[in-house]
Structure 1
Amino acid sequence: MSEVAGGTWRGWRWAASTDIGRRRAENQDAWLVRESPAGLLLAVADGMGGHPNGAWAARYAVDELASAVGAQASPLDLAAAVAALSSRLRDAAARLGTPGAGTTLTAALLADGVLRWVSAGDSRLYALEAGALRQVTRDHNLAAEPGGHPGLANILTRCLGMAGALEPDAGELAAPEGLLLATDGLYHLVAAETLADALRSPDLESAASVLVNLANDAGGPDNITVLLARRATG
């Protein structure tokens, strides 16, 4: 059974859904929506496929980022926060006896008409602008490298918990009409125009659930997580 949730924040509506998929024994994805004085934080994470403590790593990442954002009355440096979080996660995984555990993390912080974002791995952030969906983040995997092959999409080049220093991508833009965060279990199987249609739906919770069902109907080989947010129109 898919998990579905939704809510509102200062003229925005949001909805999230996650599912284990058809071929996985455990859901190693995590998502989070958290209000704080710094704004509305939305995040998704995908624990490294099948690795022991992958689910723990994903939940650790979104919760620790939320704590870091919530401790600030004004927006913090998201890239620096995630880089530091990667190091802490690596150390914690070693203490748990599962060195190498890691996770993707893509997050967006809405505040004062600005969307600030950060990403490491291949979970994605899309923005709906003038009715069109645009991929904001880039994938950190071997398939996305120059000369990369689609068959290498499961090999990450950056993630939280990786050896050495993490350099996440980060940026900001004027708050769009809508935004969508998703793990690769969704966007590999559902067309971009269908994702855009979900953000245009009057019922975001139903739309999020439909997207998860479409990914499962297409085989559901991986965990599936989607988080939608849109300016309320009434």
Structure 2
Amino acid sequence: MAARTGQGSHIGSRAEQQDCAACFVSADARCHLLVVADGMGGRSGGARAARAVIQSAEAHWQDARRLPDNPPAFLQSLCQHAHAAIGQFAEDSGEPAGTTVVALLCGPERAWWVHAGDSRLYAFRAGRPVFRTDDHTIVQQRVRRGQLDETAAALHPDQHKLLRGLGGRDPLQLTHGQMRVDADTGFVLCTDGFWAHVSSDEMAGLLAAADPDQACAQWAAVAAERAGAGADNATVAVLQPAGSPSHGFWRPLWPLIAAVALALAAFVWLAIRS
């Protein structure tokens, strides 16, 4: 069974949608590229910056259309081109523009990713979270120092103060990562407007959804609703496991199911003896 992708966004209570997402798949369905960007800037600057990331991803994918020979270099180039385009737009227009980015390139046996800012990648195996990226924010620095816990950090007033991003005159700084993948591995990429209000356990359900696009759209709306007044844009993209979604989703419950079955068998045996 081939892995499937899905994506969804909600504008929240903002006047403009400055999030963007895109999912690309190779002709043989063995390689996927997922990208999520959360734009920042006045007027249309943030939206333009986020779109620049997607345009760069599409251009790079059109040239490759398969797993590149050097995945980290491919992702670096994708972000570098977007970074330059955003900087040029800001210089020409006099309008501030920048964006976060998280991009995933996944092949049959391995996945690579890159990120800057506070848009995140979550990795799951058999429905269980096994990894997530660390935000490039002042608040995340305080979490690493033990000054804040993750729950308080998600809603901290300084959460949006980024240390890295695309756009601007500073050299591009990215964090790269990679991991082995198998038929039970799935990924969720999302902006802070999504992850601040949706738990990793709830995200795991997206990896088992029969219609991933619909599920992503519904959960983006849930994130915006939970945020209440002043809700940020919320965007999520998923790469479901290549194995059966239901197989991966139910595996964490197998010990409980087995225990219930054994208890039921013992009850029946005792009932027969009496």
After TM superposition, the score normalised by the length of structure 2 is 0.73
CA distance in structure 1 between the aligned counterparts of 2:240 and 2:206, rounded to whole angstroms: 10
Unaligned runs of 5+ in 1: 1-9
Q: Equivalents in 2 of 1:197, 1:36: separation in Å?
A: 25
Report what 1:222 is aligned to. 232
Residue 163 of structure 1: aligned partner: 169
Does the aligned pair in 2 maintain the 1:83–1:167 contact within 8 Å? no
Check the 8 A contact 1:143/1:151 in 2, yes or no: no
Give the corresponding residue for 2:31.
Answer: 39
Is 1:206 matched with 2:203?
Answer: no
Superposed CA deviations along residues 73-109 of structure 1, whole A, max 9, x for unmatched, are: 62441235423431332122211331x3000110101
Residue of structure 2 equivalent to 1:173: 179
Map 1:138-157; keep pairs closer than 5 Å.
138-146=134-142, 150-157=156-163
Identity of aligned residues (%): 31
Residue 94 of structure 1 corresponds to 91
Q: In 1, Cα distance between the equivalents of 2:188 and 2:134?
A: 14
Count of aligned residue pairs for this structure pair: 223
Greater share of strand:
1
**Contact 1:199/1:230 (<8 A) preserved:** yes
Name 1:13's counterpart in structure 2.
4
Residue in 1 aligned with 2:107?
A: 111
State the distance in 2 between where 1:120 and 1:202 align. Answer: 31
Matched, 1:125 2:133: no
Choose which of 18, 32, 57 in structure 2 pairs with 1:28. 18
Alpha-carbon distance in 2 for matches of 1:196, 1:27: 25
Contact 2:224 2:233 in 1 (8 A): no
- Deviation string, structure 1 residues 98-134 (Cα, Å, up to 9, x no partner): 1x30001101011232111010111111111133113
The gaps in structure 2 that reach 5 residues or longer are 245-274
Asked whether 1:185 is paired with 2:193, we answer: yes
Higher helix share: 2
Name the Cα RMSD after superposition.
Answer: 2.3
Q: Report the secondary structure of 2:172's partner residue.
A: coil
Q: Relative to structure 2, which stretch is displaced further, 124-133 or 202-211?
A: 202-211
Q: TM-score, normalised by structure 1?
A: 0.85
Question: Among 82, 87, 111, which residue is 1:85 paired with?
Answer: 82
Checking the alignment, whether the CA contact within 8 Å between 2:37 and 2:53 is kept in structure 1 is yes
Query: Hey, what's the Cα distance between the residues in 2 that align with 1:197 and 1:35?
Result: 22
Distance in 2 separating the partners of 1:49 and 1:125: 23
